[in-house]
Amino acid sequence: MAERSPLKRNQLIPAGYKTRKYLEQISEMPTAVSLFSGCGGSDAGLIKSGFEILMASDINDFAGKVYSKNMPEVDFVVSDIKKIKSFPRADLLVGCYPCQGFSNGGLREAERGINYLYQEFNRALQIIKPKAFIVENVSGMRRSNFIHLFDSQLKTFAESGYKVVWKVLDAREYGVPQERTRLFFVGIRSDLDVDYEFPNPTHALPGELSPLPPCPTIRDAIGDMDEWPEGEFDAQPFHWYYMSRNRYRGWNETSRTIVANSRHISLHPVSPPLKRITTDEWVFAHDGPARRFSYREAARLQGFYNDLKFPDEIGLKSRYRVVGNAVPPPLFAAVAGALPDIF
């Protein structure tokens, strides 16, 4: 493969990066294929890091529609990964295969079939033979009952010809105003004989003494938005399970983890704080209107660079779902931006 002349890794692409005209002005951009792409959090980060995405794919039709609404220049394939038999050649392969089997909010069943989708990612890896790959998943994969699957992935990718490193990263340390830790595998093709080093944090954690700028707060992310956006938040009653934990964070704090279930997403700071009564029981500190974050606010708290657009046919719960399942773009951009100069 001919040597490429990509953008500098720390060069940010202007707001108009989504247009094909702009892409055509950049010669020899490094290319990527994205699998288990969701609504495009990882891929927004890739584009910000200077990659052109040749193909993206996900089995979720709703996610695909949101992705294509926001990144129409990318060839998006809605399909079960097992049915995709060919892939374009690319410099980088990325994948965020589903995490329900490992997640704190999932069933935590080690032998669920969904936990073995890394084998399909590896099949694509063997076909494309990219110079590098990036995998993102939940940090719960390191728990003792899943460690055999964690080790199996490392072994599988190494046998496919890649030098693999891993690390759990905190999204807040990369400018995402949300408590979210994620596990990353990064592999560099062994014949290139170079190593990958994870990026240093760009932001300080709340309360941390550091020369770095503080992580943005909820106010920084959504303070300019309507406090009561009609029709954009889940208005169901706060049931006992919701009130079994503290789901409140103030304006000057970072958000709790943005989840995919609209009924379980955290409270907006306009709501009264919660106070603990007994184990697994919380109540509002005072009477007053309360609501959950809206799906648009959730997207802001995930760190999307531009406000996401949603097709009209996508319902409220599905909007929450695709946003909650997304990868924070700044976190993925940091990981991709730290790749060595091999493209």
pLDDT number for residue 178: 97
Residues 6 or more apart in contact with residue 189 via CB below 8 angstroms = 129, 130, 131, 132, 161, 162, 163
d(C-alpha 136, C-alpha 121), whole Å: 12
96 HSE (CA, 13 A, CB side):
24
| Residue 52 burial (CB count, 10 A) | 18
Q: Give tens-digit pLDDT for 196-228.
A: 999 999 999 999 999 999 999 999 999 999 999
Look up residue 241 and give its DSSP letter.
T
Q: Residue 15: phi, psi to the nearest 5?
A: -60, -25
State yes or no: pLDDT of 17 exceeds 50. Answer: no
d(C-alpha 274, C-alpha 249), whole Å: 9
Q: Are 268 and 292 in contact (CB under 8 A)?
A: yes
Per DSSP bridges, beta strands 92-95 and 31-35 are parallel
66 HSE (CA, 13 A, CB side):
31
State yes or no: pLDDT of 69 exceeds 90. Answer: yes
| DSSP of 204-225 | BPTT---SSPBPP-HHHHHTTS
236 HSE (CA, 13 A, CB side):
15
* Partners of 35 in the β-ladder: 57, 95
d(C-alpha 254, C-alpha 221), whole Å: 9
| DSSP of 125-149 | HHHH--SEEEEEEEGGGGSGGGHHH
Per DSSP bridges, beta strands 52-58 and 76-78 are parallel
pLDDT number for residue 33: 98
Instruction: Catalogue all structural domains in the chain, each as residue range(s) with its CATH number.
Output: 20-204+326-337 (3.40.50.150)
Average pLDDT, the chain: 90
Q: Give tens-digit pLDDT for 106-151.
A: 444 444 556 789 999 999 999 999 999 999 998 877 787 778 889 9
Cα–Cα distances in angstroms (integers) from residue 209 to residues 171, 200, 201, 240, 248, in the given order: 18, 16, 13, 38, 24
> Catalytic residue numbers?
99
d(C-alpha 327, C-alpha 39), whole Å: 9
Q: Are 157 and 164 in contact (CB under 8 A)?
A: yes
Record the pTM. Answer: 0.88
Q: Residue 151: phi, psi to the nearest 5?
A: -65, -35
The first and second tokens of residue 159, run together, are: 């046998």
d(C-alpha 244, C-alpha 37), whole Å: 32
pLDDT number for residue 27: 53
pLDDT number for residue 107: 46
d(C-alpha 9, C-alpha 325), whole Å: 26
Task: Kindly indicate the confidence band of residue 7, based on its pLDDT and cuts at 50, 70 and 90.
Answer: very low
d(C-alpha 209, C-alpha 228), whole Å: 35
Q: Are 206 and 254 in contact (CB under 8 A)?
A: yes
